[in-house]
């Protein structure tokens, strides 16, 4: 998914520059298909106003993993600054040697509307030869949102994506679920339940 500032401009840097910078930031993932998908979803996310840090850091986050039986309080990192994108959480399953089904959450500090975000996202998907299956309006915690379903080949791997974009005041929160096309039907109900569970404070 991609975005722009409110007037529709996409910033001065090139897609190649933004892709390179983004790839460096998440190189630790060791997940080349995910990096490329994240870059496609986030190459034009570089303007907006910063969200109030007071509300964002008023309480600590707690992660509870019922599958493996542990909980964790992650560090309280600095709030994302204007024109930036942060990936606060990534969840992955068991890989098959070539790709691991996963869910990643991006917070993009930007100001846009649902229709602007939809148009830019669809244009980028098609430019990347990704087939858009559906883009459906949703409402999440009172905010405008879009549920995208799309698929395509990324580095010799056929993938299917479900992505929920929530358009907030000065940010877009993007939750993307990804699986190989061959196993997507097995994961679809879990992915939809995951996206439907998302809410804002």
Residue 163 belongs to domain with CATH number: 3.40.1000.10
Paired with 163 in beta bridges are 148, 176
The pLDDT value recorded for residue 84 is 84
Task: Give me the pLDDT at residue 132, please.
Answer: 96
Distance of CA 200 to the CA centre of its chain: 15
SS3 at position 113: coil
The domain in which residue 185 lies consists of 15-196
In this model, does residue 167 exceed pLDDT 50?
yes
Does a structural domain hold residue 8? no
The reply to whether 1 falls in a domain is no
Whether residue 59 is predicted with pLDDT greater than 80 in this model: the reply is no
Residue 58 is predicted with a pLDDT of 61
In this predicted model, what pLDDT tens digit does every residue of 90-132 receive, in sequence order?
A: 999 988 888 999 999 999 999 999 999 999 899 999 999 999 9
In a domain? residue 6: no
- pLDDT at position 22 is 38
Q: How many domains does the chain have?
A: 1
Pick the residue with more confidence: 73 or 31? Answer: 73
pLDDT in the model for residue 78 = 87
Local structure of residue 78 (DSSP, 8 states): P
């Amino acid at each position: 998914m991609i975005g722009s500032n409110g007037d529709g401009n996409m910033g001065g840097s090139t897609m190649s520059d933004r892709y390179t910078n983004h790839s460096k930031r998440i190189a630790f993932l060791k997940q080349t298909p995910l990096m490329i998908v994240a870059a496609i979803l986030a190459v034009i996310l570089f303007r907006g106003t910063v969200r109030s840090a007071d509300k964002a850091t008023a309480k600590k986050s707690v992660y509870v993993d019922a599958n493996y039986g542990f909980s964790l309080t992650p560090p309280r990192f600095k709030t994302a600054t204007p024109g930036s994108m942060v990936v606060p959480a990534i969840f992955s399953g068991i890989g098959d040697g070539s790709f691991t089904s996963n869910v990643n959450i991006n917070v993009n500090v930007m100001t846009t509307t649902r229709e602007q975000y939809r148009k830019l996202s669809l244009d980028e998907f098609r430019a990347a030869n990704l087939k858009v299956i559906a883009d459906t309006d949703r409402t999440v915690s009172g905010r405008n949102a879009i549920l995208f379903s799309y698929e395509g080949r990324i580095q010799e791997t056929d993938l299917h994506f479900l992505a929920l974009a929530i358009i907030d005041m000065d940010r877009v929160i993007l939750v993307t679920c990804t699986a190989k096309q061959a196993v997507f039907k097995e994961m679809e109900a879990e992915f939809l339940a995951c996206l439907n569970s998302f809410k804002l404070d």
